[in-house]
Structure 1
Amino acid sequence: MDDNDFGDFGSDPYEFANVIGDGDQPVYPGCRKYTKLSALVKLYNLKAKHGMSDVCFTELLILQGDLLPEGNTIPTSMYEAKKTLCALGLSYEKMHACPNDCILYRKEYEDSTNCPTCGISRWKEGKDSILKEGVPAKVVWYFPPIPRFKRMFQSHETAKSLTWHAARKSIDGQMSHPADSPSWKLLDDKWPEFGNESRKLRLALSSDGFNPHSSLSSRYSCWLVILVTYNLPPWMCMKRKFMMLTLLISDPKQPGNDIDVYLEPLIDDLKSLWDGIRGVYDAHNGEYFTLRAALMWTINDFPAYGNLSGCVVKGYKACPICGDDTPSHRLKNGNKICYIGHRKWLPINHPYRRQRAAFNGKPEYGTPPEPLTGEEVLHMVEDGDRVCWKKKSIFFDLEYWKYLPVRHVLDVMHIEKNVCDSIIGTLLEIPGKNKDGIAARLDLLNMGVKTDLQPEYGERRTRLPPGPWNLSRAEKREVCNSFYGMKVPEGYSSNIKNLVSLQDSRLLGLKSHDCHTLMQQLLPVAIRSVLEKPARYAITRLCFFFNAICAKTVDVSNPDKLEEDVVVTLCLLEKYFPPSFFDIMVHLVVHLVREVRLCGPVYFRCMYPFERNMKVLKGYVQNHTRPEGCIAERYIAEEAVEFCTEHLSDVSTVGVPSSQKMGVSKPLSGCTVSVVDRDLLDQAHLYVLENTEEVLPYIEQHMIHIKTAYPKFRKRTKWLQDKHNSTFIQWLRLKV
């Protein structure tokens, strides 16, 4: 390990020098394999991977110290271990905030004791109504991104990966990375001095809230903001290691539209990154350069979309893309707003197109409308247009923000889940998720369509005639039995069998990824022999659409045809499903193709990796009275561990799966050590050996050897094959 590898991150150079000295200190006298630092990093890796508590980790350290010879350097407590690693970690800032989300006590308000907007005190009020001076009423934890970006370039391999997008060979007509998208190229064309530097960073921001107490209650919401770097290759950029936590907002309730107040320090750093940070050292090229970065878009669920963008996400103009042209209609009986009339976006000569010159008094389109540009949005907000806009987003303070074609992306994960819940809930008539009912039938009657499906009132009960979307009891049982009997590969999805309730023919407890696998693969199979053919055909088309847009490689020539197909699919659904089915989530499906065309593959813009990361952060909480403090401390400790693994041999990282480290090289004491996934190499080696004629006699001998050594397992073919696969290479090496 070289001192130059660490740069200037340590605040105390003497303490930092002691930590570096620990890297060369053996874990016990005479040990050549491990040093104090490498052993501690490996142990902390286990803690981070398996969510080990601090008490359990302390007992493990004590046991390790007892097992090793006298004079060992293993810490005796979690406190000592953290003290050793904290010198390598980066710091965070605790900022005081107004409890009413008015201001942050920074800059000109740093010494204020009361909020200048609402007048409330900065300090916390106790149960006896006495202010606890010095104890803030609300705290924001800020993790500055600039020093963390500098550290990324301090790693030789990470610095090399950050220029992957410029060195790779792209295939004409295919988009496999955001670097192939028009949104990426727009900044390069408009600001050539920014586009000419291959080490410029392209960022995406995600914000969401979660309950850190591992319960389903919504009484406490911890809000966080995460940055990801798109410069990295696809197998790295959305992994946990490269998800940078920047903001942690503590409060029993979410910030809502006032989140801009908490984003101020981050926006200031993004402005500095756009102007350029000089004197950043690139370990791969061995030179200093000016670091620049730009935020490409934000990734959020739909309510958070409205909070960050400032647009309205409810009511008649809930669609942020359509705006005034949102095809909305209020239902009289259900008192809901439905979004129907997508046929106006079909070509005029299409058979599903209504032959009239206007729809609701507005001109018709052949394709879905383009959203307002950033300059148009600013003009409307400044003129006081409060119909579609709640506020001016703080992101417009960034110089380039108004020129971006897509500023806030629609999250495919939540859209797919809501659409799947609506379909499953309507088909199986699940209470709370069923879009059919008496009110929905009366709405059909008021609209003058499908009048034969109106409710039939009796003396004791009201009967609803079966519609195209209804299943009989036998058909519901058949669909549930189909799901109950499905088997998928391990790790593909949840066990579908556990989600099926055969007693009342329902699917219960569907998670986001369960809905993803249902829409992508399983639902068309389950309904293949039920429903009327036109309704079944429409649902299957929708499933195929989600399957197409979630592909890892996007054909540039395909989105135009795909966009027309999804409009036709929505028209088919309008023919066979009640109007109450078409909530805003079903409508947003029509705009997903546009974002694929402008931003690239969907899996770079889904909330799946962010939700998984939030599950990890939730596991950091050991003290439930101080959840944010637990998350902050364990996050910077894991940062230190990840940094150490860049400079230590034979230590696996926490934030990148082992199967993704194929061929990665790490600098160690002036040499290069190739860290390769041994399991994959052994599998490839075994495959070659088993297909070589000269080795076939040895395979037979090895099987005889295994049966002789393990006579109890002679009749267990699978066990013998697994044992052969795991031991044959080593046995052959000794034999030959």
Structure 2
Amino acid sequence: MKQNENFVTWAWDTRLFTHASMTVYCIEKSLLICNIVLHVARLGSADMRWHRDKRVETDDVLRHPTDAEGWKHFDSEFPDFASDPRNVRLGLASDGFNPFGQMSTSYSMWPVVLLPYNLPPWKCMKETNFFMSLLTPGPKSPALLWTINDFPTYGDLSGWSTKGYQACPICMGDRSSFGIRGRISFMRHRRYLPQNHVWRRSRLHDGKVERKAPLVVMNGDEILEQLDQLEFSVMSKHPSIQDKKRKRALNWTKKSIFFNLPYWSRLLLRHKLDVMHIEKNVCDNLVGTLLNIEGKTKDTTNARLDLQDLKIRKDLHLVEVGNRLVKPHASYTLTTSERVEFCKFLKSVKFPDGFVSNISRCVHEREGKISRLKTHDCHVLLHRLLPIGIRAFLPKNVYTVITELCNFFHDLCARMIRVSDLDRLQADIIIILCKLERIFPSAFFSVMVHLAVHLPYETKITGPVSYSWMYPIERSLRTLKRYVRNKARPEGSIAEGYVMNESSTFCSRYLRGIETRFIRDERNDDTIVENEVIGDFEIFKQKVRPLGASSVRAISEEEKRLFHWYILNNADEISEYRKNDVDPTIVERPVVRHVTDDFIDDVDERLSHAIDEEL
């Protein structure tokens, strides 16, 4: 056990973050609290062994990170650590946020959150089981560790710059990008196709024949060997620093301190791409281009000039009319009337309670625009609404490939997924991106769109996407943001609020008879309450939670008839007086409304007759 203790202590060496003594105290104290809460607590110790004692393993099925290749590979590499199921497997997540809620203020802070993966699926990603191990303060901190945006954060943690021609941290030096007017395009996904595929010889994608072999992902030892051969200069504006630019071919900016860990280079995956932000960027590109939103569309004048430079899709080249250049209408953009109809569709959709935020607030029907979409709005739009909303407006080839892209993300984000399905998705996304290259301009293919090709591979290593995306972390950051009461000391406010919340959460695990966050009623709880409602009918004893502001209005005769029918058809106390000859799922159909009326009259007559007999 001593070896495992050293292993964990080294794994979270405070030198990974900073040399400040206060940070050392915070890290060590956080790990101590983490072990106390997870192992010493009577109600949590059994859950920490769930992955070994109670998990049901099914071949080809991924339900939990334990089922994935990365977990199994780690167990085979370090059998001593894996022999004790109490050893904690952690994920590290971080993102920056502005504690004041004012985007004009440049102040930001970066909490480091630890996620214990030993827990069962229904507890693993709950905020009550997260641990904030470190809080890096604002602009006066001694070192800048990572930025607010998630993809640059990837670059700061890994040491590989996520900018430029080699922005993809998976492809690395074996890039598939080229320069266009004012930006970089990440096309050339035909390299992932079989060597004899007909599209490799086609010039309709980027004007060239594709001869590159498929990507071979570098392992940790190869990356470490590459880093050892590089010399990193100090980047500074100080006049004593002469070398102000990198003069090397690769995109490495530093050697990540994580490589000091004894196991880091032997992991199958060291940094996970965030599906949440990739979906957001893909959705923004699609919606902005389809609706031709100014500032968001990728179908700009420069994009049309890029097509001329590549000598592809001549029907989209700019046409000179008099003294000006005109863009011909593209098949992937909606007309003004079609944009208005699409926005009407989005405003008319009704969702179940708690399924999504109010998307209609982002829809501007008159202008035919959509703005201020949040990440989860894009998630729902991409998975559910976009394939339905554009079907009537776009040509079949354009609509089909967009639907295939939406279905790809929908299947990838499943809570349970098979390895065989991931292999299918890997083949599908290559074909989908190649189809998109034949339709959309080269400016559409940013690095975030390109990263979709690597998601199935990473999901096979880490398990279902829901264990490795940023949605739970973003919600946790929102909670931390609410702790800021003293805006002169935001870090202290967050620290005090976090400690108080952790203390109350720990104690509430052992409280009974009162409402806590562990025994709180569900959002839509319809259980029977015996002592809160006057009357004998069970149908009137269910809990109810009203939605929205209260209002008073008269009930119509049609509504009264439906209420009457519902009570008579669902009250168990009068089951002997009714005939179950009407299907309740078809009560609203006009054909059976007269049957419903007869049903109500029949039951009323039976009840009246029974009451008369009792009297």
Query: TM (normalized to structure 2)?
Result: 0.77
Q: 1:458 deviation in Å? A: 3.9
Q: 1:396 to 1:456 in 2, by over 3 A?
A: same
Distance 1:198-1:722 versus aligned 2 partners, 3 A rule: farther
C-alpha deviation, 1:489, in angstroms? 1.1
CA separation of 1:702 and 1:632: change in aligned 2, threshold 3 A:
closer
- Structure with greater strand share of residues: 1
Q: Give me the whole-angstrom Cα distance separating, in 1, the residues matched to 2:292 and 2:463.
A: 37
Counterpart residue number, 1:455: 318
Partner of 1:150: 36
Q: Which moved more, 1:449-458 or 1:429-438?
A: 449-458
* Structure 1 residue 148 displacement after superposition: 2.5
What does 1:326-725 correspond to in 2, within 5 Å?
326-331=175-180, 334-354=181-201, 364-365=212-213, 367=214, 369-384=215-230, 386=248, 387-459=250-322, 461-654=324-517, 658=520, 679=525, 682=528
Residue 725 of structure 1 and its aligned partner are, at CA, apart by: 13
Shift of 1:724: 11
| Map 1:83-482 → 2, pairs under 5 A | 104-106=19-21, 144-167=30-53, 168-252=55-139, 258=145, 301-331=150-180, 334-354=181-201, 364-365=212-213, 367=214, 369-384=215-230, 386=248, 387-459=250-322, 461-482=324-345
Deviations 1:556-588 (A, max 9, x none): 112222111100000110000000000000000
Instruction: Map Cα deviations across residues 445-474 of structure 1 (whole Å, 9 max, x no partner).
Output: 000101232222345643100122222112
Report the alpha carbon displacement of residue 728 of structure 1 after superposing the two structures with TM.
9.2
Unpaired runs of at least 5, structure 2:
1-13, 232-247, 531-535, 543-553, 574-615
Cα shift at 1:143: 5.2
User: 1:237–1:727: structure 2 CA closer, same or farther, 3 Å change rule?
Assistant: farther
d(CA) in 2 for partners of 1:613 and 1:203? 17
Over 3 Å counting, the alpha-carbon distance change for 1:445 and 1:483 in structure 2 is same
Distance 1:680 1:328 in 2: 55
SS at match of 1:436: coil
Paired-residue identity, %: 39
The one-letter amino acid paired with 2:468 is: R
Q: Distance in 2 between matches of 1:522 and 1:253?
A: 44
Give distance in 1, aligned partners of 2:149 and 2:71. 20
- Residue identity opposite 2:70 in structure 1: S
C-alpha spacing 1:322/1:485, structure 2 compared with 1 (3 Å): same
Distance 1:699 1:602 in 2: 42
| Rounded Cα–Cα distance in structure 1 between residues aligned with 2:539 and 2:445 | 63
Distance apart, 1:657 and its partner CA: 7.7
Q: Is the contact between residue 93 and residue 473 of structure 2 (CA under 8 Å) also seen in structure 1?
A: yes
Q: Contact conserved, 1:221 with 1:253, CA < 8 A, in 2?
A: no
Distance 2:540 2:154 in 1: 64
Q: State the partner residue of 1:688.
A: none
Tell me, in whole angstroms, the C-alpha distance in 2 between the residues paired with 1:431 and 1:554.
38
State the 1:726 CA deviation. Answer: 13
AA matched with 1:310: G
After superposing the two structures, state which structure 1 stretch, 213-222 or 225-234, moved more. Answer: 213-222
Separation in structure 2 between the aligned mates of residue 678 and residue 509 of structure 1, nearest angstrom: 29
CA distance 1:617–1:633, change in 2 (3 Å): same
- What corresponds to 2:241 in structure 1? none
- Contact 1:256-1:304 at 8 Å conserved across structures: no
- What one-letter code is carried by the residue in structure 2 that aligns with 1:609? P
CA distance 1:212–1:140, shift in 2 (3 Å): farther
Distance across 1 between alignment mates of 2:85 and 2:227:
36
| Cα 1:723/1:302, change in 2 over 3 Å | farther
Q: Answer yes or no: is the 8 Å Cα contact 2:191–2:210 preserved in 1.
A: no
SS at match of 2:199: coil
2:200 partner amino acid: R
**Structure 1 residues 155 and 214: CA distance shift in structure 2, 3 A:** same
Change (3 A) 1:604 1:659: farther
Length-normalised TM-score, structure 1: 0.65
Q: 1:269 maps to what in 2?
A: none
**Consecutive unaligned residues in structure 1, runs of 5 or more:** 1-94, 111-138, 261-298, 661-676, 686-696, 704-711, 730-736
- Please give the root-mean-square deviation of Cα atoms over the aligned residues, in Å: 3.6
Residues 641 and 466 from structure 1, CA distance in 2 versus in 1: closer, same or farther, beyond 3 angstroms?
Answer: same
The 10-residue stretch of structure 1 (212-221 or 545-554) with the greater mean CA deviation from structure 2: 212-221
Deviations 1:641-674 (A, max 9, x none): 01111222224444x58368xxxxxxxxxxxxxx
